Structure 1
Amino acid sequence: MHTQRLTDGWTHYRGTLGGPWEVWRERVYGNHFNVPWHAVTLPHCFNASDGVDPDTTYYQGPGWYATELTGANPYPGGRTLLHFEGAGQRTDVYVYTRLAGSHLGGYDEFTIDLTDHLEYCRAALGGTGVPIAIQCDNSRDLETIPSDTADFCLYGGLYRDVNLVHVPAISLQHVHVASELTDSQSATVQVSVRLYNPNQFSDAVSFDVILRDPSGQVVRQAEVQAEAFAGEQAIASFMLDEPSVWSPDRPALYECTVQLASPHGRTECTERFGVRQFSFEPNGPFYLNGERLLLRGTHRHEDHAGVGAAMTEAMTRREMQLIKDMGANFVRLGHYQQSRIVLDLCDELGLLVYEEIPWCRGGVGGQAYRQQCRDMLTAMIEQHKNHPSVIIWGLGNENDWPADFESFDEQQIRAFMIELHELAHQLDPSRVTGIRRCEFCKDVVDVYSPSIWAGWYRGTYPEYKQYLNEAVQQTPRFLHLEWGGDSIAGRHAEELYSGLDVIPTGQGADERDGDYKLTGGPPRVSLLGDWSESYICELVDWHLGVQESMPSLTGAVQWTFKDFATPVRPDNPLPYINTKGVVERDLTPKEAYYVFQSHWATSPMVHIHSHHAPVRWGEPGELKTVRVYSNCDSVELFLNGESQGLRQRDPQAFPAAGLQWKMAFEAGVNRLEAVAYADGERLVDQLDFEYQTQRWQSPTHLRLSTGPREDGRVFVSVRAYDASGVRCLDAHHVVQFTLAGHGRLLDNLGTVRGSRRLQLSNGRAEIEVETDPQGPTIICVTSEGLQGDSCELRHPANARPQRQPASTPQHAVSQASSSDRGIL
């Protein structure tokens, strides 16, 4: 097998064409047809920017890609394939103008065989290159999954890798390795293969099967002779004595290599696998390899600032490592099959996996709709069942949420859920099935999660343990799959949200349709709260303490690890962004990340709360609370060099395991230093901030300031001030950045530093501008009811001293302080 990743040499056009000939007529007759083709590299998402554009909904429609394949197949009579690791959401592949194959589904892998079209292409064009045109289409279609009511973007494009593959006429299509831990001393391993043999040759074939242990040593081998066969067949079985078991702490991975020889040529395939066993005890905990394991989980969407779904391998590796470093041992891949790179990393890092198909909201459609569900479930299981990290196949999410069809029939949904459950067990008897939030199907699947959002969508977070206990008792195999809340990076509260007394209690904590909206419905924190990092840290701290105090709990999975784009939340403080992540959309950690580490991480850590608050405020001499999150035995806190005392960490204490101090800050710049001690190791975290004692009135105007230049880029900060020129540190007004002249805003990133429209956080916001040596850039900021501001920016190549913007009121402060500039 010869595989080439097709990264370069692509052109792209987002829009409709009359047919594949329009891809090539530009090249034949010249660019007379005004189709704007652009050079791109793969992976590429054609919603990389507009998924979070505050002024428009994201594009849903066709997008075209074109390239030319070169190089001959080294196998006489072999097959030439295009292998897609995922493309959204419908894909048509053309060899020149002839359709070679199509695929429906934006998240599973698929292969298009080009072989039978190559001769036509040579006859039509001559030469050795093979012109390929690909149409990806993410147009709305109620008879497909996922539903457009789902709380995430249905991206379009070749947003995962595409590979050119040459194989012999008979080759390996799949190698499946099934292992079973029979007892602590031995395990069985069965190797099955499926051949790719479209011409149905009946030649003799031979297999060499080689197993290597986690150290790379060969531990078992077999040679098998057979005739070419159809379907999947077991070709070898082995017994492993004293196997190395896979677990989150020691993710031991074996390798199985199958070498295939036939008169047409030789190929081989290597798959990794692990040996482990697990069980969900009825109304009890989860066991892995015979030992109780509390599942400490989070969620992942395939979404990133600046690229949408087209995450590079480096981005993915960084994200998965951050999840592991947070201390998680479990990840739910919501709400669709994700990249093979993700699953490989879960195997390597020791992250147990819940992976699901995108039957998400909307009801259930007709036969084509249901067939797509079956196909995607089959593909997900066949493509990922070698991964020891996977323990649960998810069949759906929030299937009690109507919208897509005139009728909503619970019995039809239930009957189809039963069918999918049976199909999953037929395809893979070794794993369990699960769904979240569909009470009329809770008894269909093996593992179920009701909706519990205590302290956010319903109820208050002190009620969490009550609702969790009730769910454990009422659900034979329970796993809490979503909890948490929204926070805006950089938003701090000196006094924690105090409106819990107006939130109805004792009425359940389930999220109900419409609760995500910012208007209407019953009182709830998501509607009335401040969306501060301060509140979310307290909510997270409480939830984690409850989870760790329940010996019968299987585990809980926070929603979600990273902020992500969603079309159903245009009015959020950060438009079109679900901000429940513990890191931002560009993987910048928020404060809550360190709360998780203090409960879950095994490596020593210490973090002073409020790193994202460059300015705090209060009265002179007022006692202020400082919290430190750490998993170390003890922490000593220093303010401006003076010790505030040593505290012993108490895991049962709330908040911050008792690591909190009260002290009076000095007006102006202060320095906090936390020194943690664990097993003789000394760790230090340091934080500088400004303490403002001036009181402010209602804000009247905005003022811009600029931060340091780097490669022609400028950080532009805006602050809100009152009529006396005092910073208004509780202002949450919506501000809009605009630009004129040369240069450009680095916006549409879905982060607090990369959005041209967003709410202020503590009276501040920031954006980055790329200047241009061709001329000046004018940046403006406006907000309804406030006087705006503007300033001129110049590229470092032709910079000159900036003059005071004429729009700045005379009573405004002349310049933001250094500690308040270039930070958010």
Structure 2
Amino acid sequence: MKTTFIQKTILSFFLLFLVQVTAQNKSPRELILIDKDWRFSFGHLYDTKKDFGHAEGYFSYLTKTGFGDGPAASGFDDRAWRKLDLPHDWAVEQPFSESASFSHGFKAAGKNFPEKSIGWYRKKITIPNSDLGRVISLKFDGVFRNSKVFFNGFYLGTEESGYNGFEYDVSAYVNYGGENIISVRVDASMEEGWFYEGAGIYRHVYLQKTNPIYVVQNGTYVTSELVGNNAAVTADVKIKNNGKFKGSIEVIQTILDNKSKQVAVSSENIVAPEFYQTINYSSKLHVENPLLWDLDSPNLYQLITEIKSEGKVIDSYKTSFGIRTIEFNAEQGFFLNGKSIKLKGTNNHQDHAGIGTALPDEIQYYRIQKLKEMGSNAYRCSHHPPTPELLDACDKLGMLVIDETRLMGINEYHLKDLQRMMERDRNHPSIFCWSVGNEEWQIEGGIIGERIANIMQDFSKSIDPTRPVTIGISSGFKSGISSVVEVMGYNYLGNGDIDAHRNQFKQQPGMGTEEGSTFATRGIYFTDDAKHYQSAYDKKPRPTFYSIEEGWKFYSERPYLAGMFIWTGFDYRGEPTPYGWPSVTSYFGMMDVCGFPKDNVFYLKSWWGKEPVLHLLPHWNWSGMEGKEIDVWAYSNCDEVELFLNKKSLGKKKMTQNGHLEWKVNYVLGTLEAVGYKNGEKILSDIQKTTGKAENIKLSSDKENVLKGNISVVTIETTDKNNLHVPIANDEITFSIKGGKILGVGNGDPTSLESDKFIDDIALVAINNFKEQKSNSATLPEQLSNYSDNEWIDAFKDRDYKKQAPSYIYKGEFDLKNNSASNVVSFFYKKIGVQTVVFINGNKVEPSAEDPQKYILSSSILKEGKNTIHIAATPLQKIKDWDVMNTDPGIIQVITPAEPWKRKLFNGYAQIIIQKDENAKEVILSASAKGLRAGSLSLK
């Protein structure tokens, strides 16, 4: 049936109507998480051939708009690349190497490994026609580091730092109604810090869609002031017009409480900003009897900012905030909501066992919850802006935060980064202080440091006058930055006379921004330098450093000091002081890299927490040391503690404030028991018992510490025949999973060189020495003929596309390092002909059912070493003289299956992080080991 002109017209109007209705029914603002289904491959730091030919073009992306080449080109074939979800840290996937960076935990990535220092990411997204006219942007929370982003071959920009969030408007480059390609080249060859930083797109990525008149990202700023029993709230908002709309708009600001009940609202008509201009709008709102944000009751409100035009909402922006007061007092320390609070803080980097820096959101909550359980109430972001989800966790769980920029300076590189951090984070009630520097030894004590500090402080105040500014100082507390910083940050007692500085600057509040740097290995009670193990007893680590107990006593006894931040809450990769290779993690943490507590946790819990505590150390498995003296310590906040060995009392001792108790005990196997007394009454006991050999594998989930999502943290341990935990077990455990996937494994051993991840290895093998011969027939062969060696010429060289042969036969070579039957070898053909036949080592191969340009190659036709590929094809024809014809036949992909997931226990424990599949009803994790009864865990 023929379609008439009238039918076509009606159909066109109907389709236009559908587009308009769809656009009207869309949410005014869409923020779409696009973490799933990316393609990834390594490029190369300086060899452009190994970097997929990127930046080899005559016209580069810097020369002419839209000329992204290699993987930056929209037509690049990435089918052979690895498929993965974000967040992703490729550094943690690498093996360890003694020639790798000390700072980065000896992972074989970075500048010493040019083939593992560049990573390419690509993703395809579809954007419908109905989005035409909206502002379409890509939002990256953080990429480590020096990322270049392309969209459909158009270069969007470079972000040097690995810690900044950034956004690119792609509205003009979109293929509406079709496929769009995001390409990201990540260069992790250079380090920004002196600690493990990971590599890759390790934070979230979003696609954002808004009306042309919209609230700028991070464009709201909510402040509040308590007036009697009420709160006066000021809500500032930046509104931008990326369109040509002129006239008035209505701005509605609504505050909702934590039950989504409206508690305040304001509305006003204003003139819209001009084309590509931004205006600042401010409204005043009043909240009666507000629920304050506090450590124990972290009450949150939400500001809903709506923009209306002609009665319709054209943008809606949500801002979470809290109402609370903060104050530093030079005599009395820190106050939250008028209440004196001693800061009980820790410093932390952002990596975790098994997963590096690519932390799922749930692990942010897990880590903050672990610190809260220890009694900590404050967290210092060391030494860079954190991921947004960490601040969300601190807001929701009640943890104060020092938010810190990466580097001091007064130029755009430094101040712009500081501004981005502050504008992104300033609505978080958990943040009570900004830090604009840390241990800048080159400038700390001189006039240059003083000038820089003054400028950065004043600049900070211009962005957020509600919070004070601090800097961590370590090279003496006398002059330079120390004399002008608003809140003095003392890094380590041994670096200067804190009391003398305070007496000189009595109007300057202060706090210990770093203290401790103690060495401890979980479960180790005798230092063994040969094995790189440090005793877990709290000892002075170095002559000018102090134990955790010494540090806490110093700060707790001085009201004018707001508190202290221990270095560190968790161990982290890199900085394996006091050792080097093969130690790969730090020894400073109160917990290891998994979050398993070292004994110092219980000292802090005794004096930082609110609950009764009694913890006895060490374990009581000392075979071969019978009769030898063992130091026995008790951490407790009880009045007295009595120690028993096999029910015989070894004496009762009184506990001093912020102290601990010690006994010398000759080892005999049996039971060591501590009993704690309060007001003469027995209230607690703790037992260390000699165990038998390990017989069973036990798995338990820490899911109760995770607030949301499909992530579970599982602890693996062994028990003896009496189901007692075996504290010295080091069995290697093998894992399997159904209904989910394993993200990473760890055990807290600072010297473990075991793999963090077990993933299939994907090797891309090039086809080399590519030659061609003409064929006089357009009929392609079913079998290979004998071709004269003298007639092979370089393929496509000097090809006259107006006088092509009916068909061509091509020949190339590729090398296989091995030809294991377990490997999956595929040829991803890139079209060099209209019709094609492929032969491998003389054998014709058929395309796969899933992809007509993919050939899965059986190991029976392959061989180790050199292999030959022949391609018979009828030629492609140029339509326009300037068409660029493909001359690349494709790539060989070799997938080597990973080993089963496994990890040794370290002093009785290991950890595995798992993710439930989206549609799975339950996850079953199984664990086995030689000589042990297997264990399993079901999570629903």
**When the two structures are superposed, what TM-score results if normalisation uses the length of structure 1?**
0.71
Asked whether 1:445 is paired with 2:485, we answer yes
Asked whether 1:113 is paired with 2:169, we answer yes
Of 526, 536, 549, the residue aligned with 1:541 is 549
Q: Deviations over 1:57-88 (max 9, x none)?
A: 33244311011112427555112221111112
2:503 alignment counterpart: 473
* Amino acid in the other structure paired with 1:188: A
Is 1:755–1:767's contact at 8 Å kept on the other side of the alignment?
Answer: no
Q: How many angstroms apart in 1 are the aligned matches of 2:350 and 2:472?
A: 19
Of 77, 92, 104, the residue aligned with 2:160 is 104
Q: Deviations over 1:356-394 (max 9, x none)?
A: 11117xxx6xx8xx3111111101111111111112111
Q: How many angstroms apart in 2 are the aligned matches of 1:707 and 1:40?
A: 38
Cα shift at 1:269: 2.0
2:422 alignment counterpart: 381
Asked whether 1:629 is paired with 2:635, we answer yes
Q: Which stretch of structure 1 is more off in the superposition, 204-213 or 20-29? A: 20-29
* Amino acid in the other structure paired with 2:622: V
Local SS of the residue matching 2:269:
strand
* Amino acid in the other structure paired with 1:418: N
Q: How do residues 176-195 of structure 1 correspond to structure 2 at under 5 angstroms?
A: 176-195=220-239
2:535 alignment counterpart: 532
Local SS of the residue matching 2:392:
helix
Q: Which stretch of structure 1 is more off in the superposition, 92-101 or 194-203? A: 194-203
1:138 alignment counterpart: 188
Q: How many angstroms apart in 2 are the aligned matches of 1:800 and 1:483?
A: 43
Q: How many angstroms apart in 1 are the aligned matches of 2:632 and 2:646?
A: 14
Local SS of the residue matching 1:424:
helix
* Amino acid in the other structure paired with 1:399: E
Cα shift at 1:132: 1.1
Q: How do residues 409-448 of structure 1 correspond to structure 2 at under 5 angstroms?
A: 410-437=446-473, 439-448=479-488
Local SS of the residue matching 1:425:
helix
Asked whether 1:394 is paired with 2:450, we answer no
Is 2:69–2:153's contact at 8 Å kept on the other side of the alignment?
Answer: yes
Is 2:385–2:403's contact at 8 Å kept on the other side of the alignment?
Answer: yes
* Amino acid in the other structure paired with 1:432: P
Is 1:54–1:576's contact at 8 Å kept on the other side of the alignment?
Answer: no
Cα shift at 1:493: 4.0
Cα shift at 1:756: 4.3
Q: How many angstroms apart in 2 are the aligned matches of 1:194 and 1:29?
A: 41
2:396 alignment counterpart: 348
* Amino acid in the other structure paired with 1:435: I
Cα shift at 1:434: 1.1
Q: How do residues 82-481 of structure 1 correspond to structure 2 at under 5 angstroms?
A: 82-119=138-175, 128-140=178-190, 148=192, 150-173=193-216, 174-199=218-243, 201-229=245-273, 230-262=277-309, 266-282=314-330, 284-359=332-407, 370-401=411-442, 410-437=446-473, 439-454=479-494, 467-475=497-505, 476-481=508-513
Distance 1:684 1:373, change over 3 A: same
* Amino acid in the other structure paired with 1:342: L
Distance 1:486 1:218, change over 3 A: same
Distance 1:209 1:323, change over 3 A: same
Local SS of the residue matching 2:168:
strand
Q: How many angstroms apart in 2 are the aligned matches of 1:350 and 1:555?
A: 17
Is 2:525–2:618's contact at 8 Å kept on the other side of the alignment?
Answer: no
Identity over the aligned pairs, expressed in percent? Answer: 23
Is 2:121–2:184's contact at 8 Å kept on the other side of the alignment?
Answer: yes
Distance 1:51 1:279, change over 3 A: farther
Asked whether 1:553 is paired with 2:583, we answer no
Q: How many angstroms apart in 1 are the aligned matches of 2:207 and 2:75?
A: 23
Distance 1:24 1:467, change over 3 A: closer
Bigger Rg, which one: 2
Is 2:152–2:174's contact at 8 Å kept on the other side of the alignment?
Answer: no
Cα shift at 1:453: 4.6
Cα shift at 1:400: 1.9
Q: How many angstroms apart in 2 are the aligned matches of 1:130 and 1:591?
A: 53
Asked whether 1:615 is paired with 2:662, we answer no
Instruction: Give unpaired runs (5+ residues) of structure 2.
Output: 1-28, 45-50, 55-67, 102-108, 112-116, 541-545, 700-713, 719-727, 733-741, 761-820, 823-897, 905-925, 933-940
Q: Deviations over 1:664-700 (max 9, x none)?
A: 432xx32233444669995543322479xxxxxxxxx
Local SS of the residue matching 2:39:
strand
Q: How many angstroms apart in 2 are the aligned matches of 1:543 and 1:74?
A: 62
Is 1:87–1:157's contact at 8 Å kept on the other side of the alignment?
Answer: yes
Cα shift at 1:603: 2.9
2:781 alignment counterpart: none
Q: Deviations over 1:45-66 (max 9, x none)?
A: 1212449654523324431101
* Amino acid in the other structure paired with 2:146: R
Q: Deviations over 1:592-620 (max 9, x none)?
A: 11111111011333321224x74377562
Is 1:83–1:109's contact at 8 Å kept on the other side of the alignment?
Answer: yes
Cα shift at 1:266: 2.7
Local SS of the residue matching 1:129:
strand
Is 2:139–2:166's contact at 8 Å kept on the other side of the alignment?
Answer: yes
2:587 alignment counterpart: 579
Distance 1:756 1:660, change over 3 A: closer
Is 2:518–2:547's contact at 8 Å kept on the other side of the alignment?
Answer: no
Q: How many residue pairs end up in the alignment?
A: 665
Is 1:421–1:444's contact at 8 Å kept on the other side of the alignment?
Answer: no
Q: How many angstroms apart in 1 are the aligned matches of 2:344 and 2:336?
A: 13
* Amino acid in the other structure paired with 2:440: N
Q: Deviations over 1:524-571 (max 9, x none)?
A: xxx9x9832113499212322332222222111111111112368694
1:44 alignment counterpart: 88
Q: How many angstroms apart in 2 are the aligned matches of 1:493 and 1:671?
A: 18
Asked whether 1:4 is paired with 2:32, we answer yes
* Amino acid in the other structure paired with 1:472: R
Local SS of the residue matching 1:603:
coil
Q: How do residues 624-663 of structure 1 correspond to structure 2 at under 5 angstroms?
A: 624-642=630-648, 644=650, 649-651=655-657, 654=659, 656=660, 659-663=661-665
Q: How many angstroms apart in 1 are the aligned matches of 2:673 and 2:328?
A: 44
Local SS of the residue matching 1:615:
coil
Root-mean-square deviation (CA, aligned residues, Å) is 4.4
1:59 alignment counterpart: 110
Local SS of the residue matching 1:189:
strand
Q: Deviations over 1:180-200 (max 9, x none)?
A: 334553331111111243235
Instruction: Give unpaired runs (5+ residues) of structure 1.
Output: 141-146, 403-407, 459-465, 498-517, 519-526, 692-704, 718-729, 738-745, 758-765, 782-795, 803-824
Q: How many angstroms apart in 2 are the aligned matches of 1:425 and 1:432?
A: 8
Q: Which stretch of structure 1 is more off in the superposition, 345-354 or 536-545? A: 536-545
Is 2:517–2:566's contact at 8 Å kept on the other side of the alignment?
Answer: no
Distance 1:801 1:616, change over 3 A: closer
Q: Deviations over 1:155-174 (max 9, x none)?
A: 33111111122222222224
Cα shift at 1:767: 9.5
Cα shift at 1:397: 1.1
Asked whether 1:485 is paired with 2:517, we answer yes
Q: How many angstroms apart in 2 are the aligned matches of 1:747 and 1:272?
A: 30
**When the two structures are superposed, what TM-score results if normalisation uses the length of structure 2?**
0.63
Q: Which stretch of structure 1 is more off in the superposition, 409-418 or 558-567? A: 409-418
Cα shift at 1:244: 2.7
Distance 1:64 1:771, change over 3 A: closer
Q: Which stretch of structure 1 is more off in the superposition, 671-680 or 44-53? A: 671-680
1:461 alignment counterpart: none
